[in-house]
């Protein structure tokens, strides 16, 4: 099932370290450069403290902070790849680890920025790039991601996917990751304490509904306005919590993860093989199961016609409450 952590690599599977990085106070480009150096230092110190660690994960906004007055300005944005990711890549190569990092990415086509996560392998290569599909509206000004939900090979027989913060509140995100083969879903977040309980709940449900591990970590500490709850969490594929961090900045949550056990459950389970049963309804009665889509919302979403029965009454549909300019409406 896994353990609460160790300092050595397990015989099968891998050891992960989730860093409850302290929320950065970022007011200038120099502050961002300082955070990059600190993240690089933390990669090396984490590897030194846990010699067997193979995957180190940093939360959303750990590189550029959450200064809403400046976070879309030119000096606050980065390119992927770019000088910043080159430094992260060198750190992963030197420490011989996989690393997950957060970047607010400049749109190369000149549009609004993206909220981006990358995975770098021990050779220093970016092996996954993900742009947040569901920005936390109306707070965040980022474009909705346009790269889908990619999956890549990771340590210990893992297939990794990454989602970012509010993404994890949508069960469709975790289901998409599993459908594409991920047996480990990483969730990096910059949530404040208002949704602490929902964070724990959805990390567990995402694991259970898809028979996969979830590795989740949030910023920690106080930025002068909000408190960020940390609480790195590793959930087993049966939805139980293997390890749960506290609210301490710089706390490192470690766990042994065994992707082959998730793979075995997906292949061997009959009862509660949720990810299979979704597309094979009633297979006892109908050999192979019923394949037709019974869900109106899936059909409407696929056809670009998604609309809630109460949608015309919804009051907040733009970012004006947070001072963002109102843009032309795409659909009435």
Q: Where are the domains of the chain?
A: 14-277
Q: In this model, does residue 321 exceed pLDDT 50?
A: yes
Lowest mean pLDDT among 68-82, 119-133, 136-150, 257-271: 68-82
pLDDT of residue 2: 43
- Supply the DSSP string of 68-106, one letter for each residue: TTTTTSGGG-B-SSSHHHHHHHHHHHHHT-EEEEEEEEP
Which residues are catalytic, by number? 60, 132, 165
Report residue 68's pLDDT band, with 50, 70 and 90 as the boundaries. confident
pLDDT of residue 5: 63
- Round the average pLDDT of the chain to a whole number and report it: 94
Report residue 203's pLDDT band, with 50, 70 and 90 as the boundaries. very high
How does pLDDT run across 240-267, given as a tens digit for each residue?
Answer: 999 999 999 999 999 999 999 999 999 9
Query: Among 3.30.460.80, 3.40.50.300, 3.60.110.10, 3.40.50.150, what is the CATH number of 14-277?
Result: 3.60.110.10
Spatial separation of the C-alpha atoms in residues 201 and 56, rounded to whole Å: 23
Is-above-0.85 flag for pTM? yes
Token pair 């940093």 is at which residue?
A: 58
């Amino acid at each position: 099932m896994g353990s609460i952590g160790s300092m050595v690599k397990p015989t099968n599977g891998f050891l992960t370290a989730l860093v409850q990085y302290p929320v950065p106070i970022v007011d200038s480009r120099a502050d961002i450069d300082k955070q990059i150096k600190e993240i690089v230092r933390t990669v090396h110190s984490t590897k030194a403290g846990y010699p067997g660690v193979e995957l180190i994960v940093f939360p959303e906004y750990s590189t550029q902070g959450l200064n809403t007055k400046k976070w879309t300005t030119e000096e606050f944005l980065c390119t992927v790849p770019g000088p910043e990711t080159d430094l992260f890549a060198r750190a992963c190569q030197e420490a011989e680890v996989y690393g997950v990092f957060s970047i607010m990415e400049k749109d190369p086509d000149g549009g609004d920025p993206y909220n981006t996560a990358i995975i770098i392998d021990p050779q220093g290569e970016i092996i996954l790039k993900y742009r947040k599909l569901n920005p936390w509206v109306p707070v965040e000004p980022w474009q909705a991601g346009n790269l889908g939900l990619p999956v890549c090979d990771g340590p210990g027989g893992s297939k990794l996917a990454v989602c970012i913060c509010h993404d994890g509140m949508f069960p469709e995100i975790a289901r998409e990751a599993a459908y594409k083969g991920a047996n480990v879903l990483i969730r990096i977040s910059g949530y404040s304490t208002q949704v602490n309980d929902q964070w724990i709940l959805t990390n567990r449900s995402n694991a259970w509904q898809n028979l996969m591990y979830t590795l989740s970590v949030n910023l920690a500490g106080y930025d002068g306005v909000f408190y960020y709850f940390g609480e790195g969490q590793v959930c087993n594929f049966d939805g139980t919590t293997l390890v749960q961090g506290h609210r301490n900045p710089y706390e490192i949550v470690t766990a042994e993860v065994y992707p082959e056990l998730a793979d075995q459950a997906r292949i061997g389970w009959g009862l509660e093989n949720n990810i299979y049963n979704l597309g094979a309804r009633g297979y006892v009665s109908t050999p192979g199961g019923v394949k037709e889509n019974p869900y109106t919302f899936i059909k409407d979403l696929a056809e670009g016609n998604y609309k809630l029965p109460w949608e015309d009454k919804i009051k907040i549909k733009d970012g004006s409450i947070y001072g963002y300019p109102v843009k032309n409406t795409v659909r009435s």
